[in-house]
Amino acid sequence: MDASDITGALNWDSVRARHPELVDKLDGGLSRGDPLAQAAISEMVGLADFGWRDVVRILDDPLGRMDEAPPALRALLDAASSPPPWFDEAVAEAGGRAWWKFGTLQSSTLYQSLIYGYQARGFVRPLVATGQLADHTYDRVLSTGRWVALATAPGQMAPGGQGWSQTLKIRLIHAMVRHSLLADGEWNVAEWGVPINQTYCALTIGGGFLALPMTVAGDFGIKYSAAEREAIAHLWRWIGWVIGVDDALLPKSFAAARQLFEIGAQFELEPDESSKTLTRALLREGYRIELPLVPGSVTDVLNVMLRPMLSMSFSSISTRWVGRPAAGKMGLRRTPLHHLVDVARPAVRLREVVRAIGLLGDEDQVVNREMRTVMRGLGMNSAEIDRVRTVA
């Protein structure tokens, strides 16, 4: 099987002809996983007195408990706590501050990031194989949202920080899924590539969590300076490195992330029924309106009443950032509701003017307020939020 068969991109060869260097890297990544993380999970499986709970306990204080880790897990922690030469902690922290100036809007782009991944059947296939295609959709959204919040919080991706630890936990969960799928003998590597392989991880980080949210933000009228864009790109490059993406596949600048995103969009993917099922579940069950001081029973009724309209709105708005052929196959339908973004744009720009002249407080106050608002919305309690070291 070649890359076209594995990915379902019927025009893989023609895209490669236009962008040979990058597409060849993506081709090679389809057959590669994450050896360091795989070794840690294989080690865990082979130990009678060491399991996932022990891994989580160590990851809750990875630098303080590194000596308690068995050799392969310790090797992973050692590697992840030794940044590559290009990493600049101050630039990464600046990226977090820039991201969180518009944190409430950036958090809403999570749905688009997930839909971006659902286009690719190779991204969806591990969920199908593990039997978790459309189960626990809301919990999956909350879990992913909390990770993004912690990973982008200023300072939290420094080794030992909560974002760094959570990123390693996700890396090991990916390795555990990969181990399980390969061990049961039913996963066909020749036909499907390695599960959760380097190519899909690189496209998810560089395209789904970096370039796409910045595109959505721009559509809403948010403008970042060139320095802010590069700082955010640096932060996500570091997040990608910690989560196990090969350095050669990570975008080294915002322009490189945009290029990766745009080349990814050129592939003519064929979303299958599983993609449609995941998208439908996300649009119908991937959110919940919570109102302070309102009884849960009333909130439940309100969510049931509003779900059809919200689902239709999210579906239509999503077509702004998903190619038309793929959007239709995923069940997304464009209606006049996609103009809600145009309606919201003046309010977003006004908010930026108000922020720029200081009426919302200084930058530290804005960042902290945005972080706390989003984290509360993700179900994090006060103690969990206070553990996050916000800016001074």
Domain count, the chain: 1
What's the pLDDT score for residue 331? 87
- Stated pTM of the model: 0.93
Average pLDDT, the chain: 89
pLDDT computed for residue 52 by the predictor: 95
Q: What is the mean pLDDT of residues 9-18?
A: 92
Range of the domain at 171: 3-286+364-387
> Is 296 within a domain?
no
Given this model, what pLDDT does residue 271 score?
81
Taking the C-alpha atoms of residue 263 and residue 255, their distance in angstroms, rounded to an integer, is: 12
How would residue 292 be classed by pLDDT, with cut points 50, 70 and 90?
low
* pLDDT value at residue 131: 65
Name the residue with higher pLDDT: 261 or 287: 261
pLDDT category of residue 391 using cuts at 50, 70 and 90 = very low
Q: What percent of the chain has pLDDT over 90?
A: 57
Kindly state the average pLDDT of the residues 244-258: 96
Confidence of residue 392 (pLDDT cuts 50, 70, 90): very low
Residue 96: which of 363, 379, 381, 373 has the closest Cα? Answer: 363
Residue 340 domain flag? no
Q: Is residue 299 part of a domain?
A: no
pLDDT over 90 at 282, yes or no: no
Is 333 within the bounds of a domain?
no
- Give 84's pLDDT tier (boundaries 50, 70, 90): very high
Q: Is the pLDDT of residue 45 over 90?
A: yes
* Residue 294 maps to a domain: no
- Contact between 163 and 152 under an 8 Å Cβ cutoff? The reply is yes
Q: What is the mean pLDDT of residues 379-386?
A: 86
- Using the predicted structure, report yes or no on whether residue 305 has a pLDDT greater than 80: no
pLDDT of residue 133: 59
Of 25-39, 77-91, 296-310, 372-386, the poorest mean pLDDT is in: 296-310
The string of pLDDT tens digits covering residues 92-135 is: 999 999 999 888 888 888 888 988 888 888 888 888 777 665 66
Please report whether residue 83 resides in a domain: yes
For the stretch 88-112, what's the b/e string if a residue is b when 16 or more beta carbons lie within 10 angstroms of its beta carbon? eeebbbbbbbbbbbbbebbbbbbbb
Quick one: pLDDT at residue 16?
95
123 found inside a domain: yes
Residue range 212-241: mean pLDDT, rounded = 95
In a domain, 129, yes or no: yes
Of the listed ranges 68-82, 98-112, 119-133, 341-355, the least confidently predicted one is: 119-133
Q: Which two tokens stand for residue 359?
A: 């009426």
